[in-house]
Structure 1
């Protein structure tokens, strides 16, 4: 029976950036690998900060930014040997977070995203019945990462979880924000060897993000080299590490 690994990614690049090497190794080991990304909804005619989040990447206002990003995600998942699933939640700039500072601040009291994330993930878990989950630690404090983590913890899943360190946030400072550290307190850490070449190729598929995040493809390559080939996770339950690696 084929085992299924499900990566729950906030945005269309987070799983590849943070756990792409491990996902590729799982696929090579015969696992079925699914990357389900939560915040992927196209929002017609964005304005203000939401529009700036695409124009600051050199994209014209009329471009369907999330459709472009979904196509990049499909290409990246093909490299990793994974199947993409896109859950149609709105990214934070479309939910009242109107500045970069707000994206990395506390979740808004009126933000429905944690409830919506729970409602999206629960039936997906029931349908796919994964043997292993991968999800973000929300290092860096992006509100979408935080709300995904909180929603998943609230579901009290009964399968092992590999909680990844959120790249590139974890590499940008020696003391990155860790607003959800208490929710993962006491979980041991392990470094898993990943397929570095496949990870780099998958990350490069997110072409719309490379200039903004890394200064271009060469910057991505340097950042990945600096992070090393192993990927570090917090372990919940008893992940099949020997078989996964």
Structure 2
């Protein structure tokens, strides 16, 4: 039994970024784990943390993260995810990042979340022993994504089984965005053709209802945006149809590479 662990900073990043690959591996008989790092509910948020939900039309009485965890459950059911886990750590606005500018600046010196995340996730990684881990590149520079990159880079022994996905919709809005510099230096693109499963991915993305207006402009725009983006990704790598593109190291198991052919 082959296991793929999809690591998501927030409750939607895997769906938007590499949900097609999740669907394709699942169709090929893989078992799939979806693990999200920043999922904690914080009672009575204020200031910038509160604004992060009210700017999406959600009043202060709403438990924003509980709502998003339910969206994640809906996605997991839709995609037939085998293991769904939340690390229960607070998002950046609840860790002292108090503005949009700070969210996209380098991590604060006193943000020790990487060590905490490592302690939360290592037991799961040890238990599952996934053949493949899919983690973000931190395109766009959101500090939570950057800290997940640093988390994976700090864990010995996983480079040969890690693929780094292109954070979407950051990759849509910022085509020239560069991966976080902490990523290994020997990485090369590896594309997965997702043409057949793209409708399934789009439907799965629709589960994250609270985010669609903010991230895509509305539910109707999700499909056209992703279809155009993934067609462009495929063409950029000499493929027809639609593709999700990753970065892979030279030591990636050849058997894993064949799964992407």
- TM-score in terms of structure 1 length: 0.95
1:238 aligns with 2:252: yes
Q: Deviations over 1:143-173 (max 9, x none)?
A: 0000011111110234511110000001112
Aligned ranges for residues 1-245 of structure 1 at < 5 Å?
2-82=1-81, 83-158=83-158, 159-178=160-179, 180-194=180-194, 195-228=197-230, 229-236=242-249, 237-239=251-253, 240-243=256-259
Instruction: Name which structure has the greater RCO, CA cutoff 8 Å, separation 6+.
Output: 1
Question: Which blocks of at least 5 consecutive residues in structure 2 are unaligned?
Answer: 231-241
Q: In 1, distance between residues paired with 2:156 and 2:188?
A: 18
Q: Give the conservation status (yes or no) of the 8 Å contact 1:105–1:142.
A: yes
Q: Give the conservation status (yes or no) of the 8 Å contact 1:8–1:37.
A: yes
Q: Deviations over 1:24-53 (max 9, x none)?
A: 011111111010000000001100000010
Aligned residues: 243
Q: In 1, distance between residues paired with 2:40 and 2:157?
A: 25
Question: Which blocks of at least 5 consecutive residues in structure 1 are unaligned?
Answer: none
Q: Give the conservation status (yes or no) of the 8 Å contact 1:25–1:244.
A: no
- TM-score in terms of structure 2 length: 0.89
Q: In 1, distance between residues paired with 2:148 and 2:202?
A: 25
- How far off is 1:17 after superposition? 0.6
Q: In 2, distance between residues paired with 1:130 and 1:5?
A: 5
Q: In 2, distance between residues paired with 1:64 and 1:47?
A: 13
Q: What's the Cα RMSD here?
A: 1.4
- How far off is 1:23 after superposition? 0.4
